[in-house]
Amino acid sequence: MALSKELMGFSSFFSASSKVFLHNKHGTFWVNPILLPSENPRVMRLRKGAKFPVAAISEDLIKTTLTVQAEKPVQFKVRAVVTVRNKIKEDFKETMLKHFDAINDRIGTRNVVLELISTEIDPKTKSPKKSSKATLKDWSKKSNVKAERVNYTTEFIVDSNFGVPGAITVTNKHQREFFLESITIEGFASGAVHFPCKSWVQGERIFFSNQTYLPGDTPAGLRVLREKELINLRGDGKGVRKLSDRIYDFDTYNDLGNPDEGVELTRPTLGGSQNHPYPRRCRTGRAPTDTDMHAESRVEMPLPMYVPRDEQFNESKLNTFVIKRLKAVLHNLIPGLKASLSANNHDFNRFSDIDDLYSDEILNKIPLPQVLTKIQDCGRGLLKYDTPKIISKDKFAWLRDDEFARQAIAGVNPVNIEGLKVFPPVSKLDPEIYGHQESALKEEHILGQLNGMTVQQAIVENKLFMINYHDVYVPFLDEINALDGRKSYATRTIFFLTPLGTLKPIAIELSLGPSSGWKRVVTPPVDATTNWKWQLAKAHVCANDAGVHQLVNHWLRTHACMEPFILSAHRQLSAMHPVFKLLDPHMRYTLDINALARQKLINADGIIESCFTPGRYCMEISCAAYKNLWRFDMEGLPADLIRRGMAVPDPTQPNGVKLLIEDYPYATDGLLIWSAIENWVRTYVNHYYHHSNSSLICNDKELQAWYSESINVGHADLRHERWWPTLNNSEDLVSILTTLIWTVSAQHAAINFGQYPYGGYVPNRPPLMRRLIPEAEVESTSTEYANFLADPQKFFLNALPSVLQATKYMAIVDILSTHSSDEEYLGERRHSSIWSGDAEIIQAFYSFSTEIRRIENEIEKRNRDPTLRNRCGAGVLPYELLAPTSQPGVTCRGIPNSVST
């Protein structure tokens, strides 16, 4: 009777509230029960209605539900929503495997199994608490769903003392891998638990929730799993890596040459020696070549190069590359036909020959057989190149001196100009090796161009600037000029800052190799002959610039030097570590694009060697720059500007620097982006590492291991340099992380996405030169000089790359300048609201995103300001390379989070 009264009261409670709260030392849980009879008179069975859990509770528990802790754990159900990303296109094998997997899943022999793991240790087993295992529902029913993302569900049974889920195991027993985007667990009183997975699953995998833990704060139930996952990612450094592996390891660049194909394709190993120091790349473990035990055998396209499975391009990104490669083949089809049909079509002879590349008229100028007329009709629009931006507003802008100078601070390579502090310039090359390298520049060469100033006065007032490629090229000039079809100088270009805030070139110094010691200075023209020589001198400067831009500023500084930090982050930082979560979007696709570069771009006889003046010495120039020029502590924007004499320290300015050229678009926009990144990083770091507690940084074993390995293994050849920043406190960490994020996002964008818009018109920015400037004193009776005088336009164009070299170069910079449809831009990230479980950090990230949008509006405003002549004016391209967002395609703008092209 007493019991029935209790039940009547309890039933009344049910009608008033759909939730029963169960309290114990592990927290509060609720069920939505329906009473069922039980064989045990002291136990009532509660079963959920609709989709809620089953719970068994005793009479005593019923009496004390609202106020007293449960004596025994109560079982209940939680629901998992699993999001899987489908492939857009499947080959026959994949389709068949999908059908087999669906059949096996239906009969229960091979399916996808999940298991929740608590943050707490079970006192009985001394191991993490686990839920029941559960299989995904409806896998077979949804196997034919064509949506990009498909949600599957399942349910776990857990005890009320389970605690908080911290990890989940996913076992894919299917034959076919799948891409797991995320898992959300619903039903815990603490709220939904999110697992942002973003990974391919084959076999058994473990994923951690979006909660962030420093190593010392790792819950007991996750400590062993945290270390085990890192051990798996490191591998054992042995064997050949399979494409399905997820192992991150280091190796030297010993796979660029192909000695088995001939001695001319032999290249030195970069990294691991004093003569050829270089950053490390991702280890693949392939067998050595037959002729050189120290060289790794090649994998040629279309076979893929190994990178860890999760680093490979997704389908959308890969499709963008495939389509662009197909267009590159089509683009080169017509120039190839022209070259094969006529010996006179190997070179550009008139500027109209170059114009034809951007016009459908190119098809009408080839005597194709009648059988190919349909190809003509189908090919219109596909065979022509898009018009580069540099000639879209003013076809002849590239010829002007002011545009030549403007591109030094607002073009695709605005990071080499420096303040001139000593005149004449002084070489830093070792005179015992290269001889004395005195400059040929004299005061009389520039004095008349300084608006009445003396040279010393112009230097003191910060009016003289220089682009100096002398020391980069001199050590290689004799070898370069011995190559067939390659001619180069080592150049120095002097600029004067006008009262309008624009630059004008006032002298170009040209030097040949140490063996000749030949030097000369070219100054602005005074007649027709000197005008064409001046144009040739500027073209040689641009070829020097194109080589340094591609080999040093683009490849070395933003691709190769960042790879060790990425490899080590995966090896040493748990996915739960706050620094890993911060860096995660900034590491996307970099290992894959770098592997593609080793396979097709920077390899022996690859596109870079074929299209740039240094030829087979391209990567050795990159290597020398790493040895002599690269310093991590100078890669941050303010430090770089000060190093180059383009700014001076000024604590009154927002970024602590004052620019010496006020209208320096790359720097002015870049400092806005740098400041936003730095503020975001500082907020993030100070949230996890309190300002006054430097011991948190020093005692963070994962963080210290990451930074130490990045230097001592990834940059082993420079590990003893004294300029490496320390990592002892939060400000050190802010500086290091800001530099990394700036480099892979904004710095890379500034020097990458303008390559086709500026370089797609080859006369504006030739990647190689094939002729030196004719000298009247030496060649007055020669055919070469006579040809120059008779047809300077043809001579100029024949000095540029051949038709096939130019179109090959245009095709590759078109690919590199393209944004894919799945690009993520600065201030954006996948799973933007759940990538971290810390609400305060999510809010700080949204504030960062808002600041990035504000900066974009400011950049647009600057580009409309007529007083800023380096970015606004008749025929002047606006400076948008640091505008944060972009549409897909070649847009000359947009800052992706990572180095992905």
One-letter-per-residue 3-state SS of 545-564? HHHHHHHHHHHHHHHHCCHH
The label of the residue with tokens 């004499």 reads 645
Q: How confident is the model at residue 372, as a pLDDT? A: 46
The label of the residue with tokens 């944060």 reads 884
Are the CB atoms for 621 and 471 separated by under 8 Å? no
Those residues whose C-beta lies under 8 Å from the C-beta of residue 847, and which sit 6 or more positions away, are 680
Q: How confident is the model at residue 91, as a pLDDT? A: 74
Coil/strand/helix, residue 386: coil
Q: How confident is the model at residue 381, as a pLDDT? A: 58
> What type of residue sits at position 581?
K
> What type of residue sits at position 809?
Y
Coil/strand/helix, residue 567: helix
The label of the residue with tokens 């009408």 reads 364
Q: How confident is the model at residue 344, as a pLDDT? A: 57
Those residues whose C-beta lies under 8 Å from the C-beta of residue 750, and which sit 6 or more positions away, are 414, 415, 666, 670, 881, 882
With CA atoms as reference, report the closest residue to 513 among 436, 587, 434, 446.
Answer: 434
Q: Edge-to-edge strand order for the sheet containing 43-48? A: 33-36, 43-48, 55-58
Those residues whose C-beta lies under 8 Å from the C-beta of residue 96, and which sit 6 or more positions away, are none
Gap between the Cα atoms of 618 and 553, Å rounded: 13
Gap between the Cα atoms of 829 and 43, Å rounded: 51
Per-residue CA distances from 580 to 151, 221, 593, 632 (Å) = 27, 20, 21, 20
Per-residue CA distances from 678 to 366, 642, 723 (Å) = 56, 18, 21
Q: What is the token pair recorded at 703?
A: 């963080």
Gap between the Cα atoms of 776 and 774, Å rounded: 7
Are the CB atoms for 77 and 155 separated by under 8 Å? yes
Q: What is the token pair recorded at 855?
A: 């900066």
Q: What is the token pair recorded at 317?
A: 């990104």
Coil/strand/helix, residue 870: coil
Q: What is the token pair recorded at 153?
A: 């569900």
Gap between the Cα atoms of 740 and 582, Å rounded: 11
With CA atoms as reference, report the closest residue to 490 among 399, 602, 621, 604.
Answer: 621
With CA atoms as reference, report the closest residue to 702 among 227, 170, 61, 4.
Answer: 227
Gap between the Cα atoms of 349 and 354, Å rounded: 9
Gap between the Cα atoms of 530 and 764, Å rounded: 19
Q: How confident is the model at residue 771, as a pLDDT? A: 95
What are the percentages of helix, strand and coil residues in the chain, rounded to 5? 45, 15, 40
Which DSSP helix (H) or strand (E) runs through 677?
A: helix 665-688
Q: Architecture of domain 73-208 in CATH?
A: Sandwich (2.60)
Q: CA torsion angle for 878, 325, 86, 229 (degrees, to 10)? A: -90
Quickly count: other Cβ atoms within 10 Å of residue 599's Cβ: 19
Q: CA geometry: angle at 677 spanning 676 and 679, to 5°? A: 65
Gap between the Cα atoms of 764 and 787, Å rounded: 23
Q: How confident is the model at residue 16, as a pLDDT? A: 36
Q: How confident is the model at residue 848, as a pLDDT? A: 98
Dihedrals φ, ψ of 130, to 5°? -130, 150
Instruction: State the pTM of this model.
Output: 0.90
Quickly count: other Cβ atoms within 10 Å of residue 439's Cβ: 18
Those residues whose C-beta lies under 8 Å from the C-beta of residue 708, and which sit 6 or more positions away, are none
Are the CB atoms for 455 and 423 separated by under 8 Å? yes
Which regions of the chain are under pLDDT 50?
Answer: 1-70, 370-372, 375-376, 379
CATH 3.10.450.60 boundaries in the chain: 415-543
Q: How confident is the model at residue 207, as a pLDDT? A: 98
Ordered alpha helix ranges (H), 824-863:
839-862
DSSP-derived pairing of the beta strands 165-172 and 203-208: antiparallel
Gap between the Cα atoms of 287 and 596, Å rounded: 19
Q: What is the token pair recorded at 864?
A: 């409309």
Beta-sheet strands, E only, within 59-192: 75-85, 112-121, 128-130, 134-135, 149-159, 165-172, 178-186
Provide the b/e sequence for 245-283 (b: ≥16 CB within 10 Å): bbbbbbbbbbbbbbbeeeeebbbbbbbbeeebbbbbbbb
CATH 2.60.60.20 boundaries in the chain: 73-208
Q: Is 331 exposed, middle or buried, given 0-12, 13-18 or 19+ CB atoms closer than 10 A?
A: buried
Q: How confident is the model at residue 529, as a pLDDT? A: 95
Looking at domain 415-543, does it have CATH number 1.10.760.10?
Answer: no
Q: How confident is the model at residue 70, as a pLDDT? A: 44
Which DSSP helix (H) or strand (E) runs through 606?
A: none
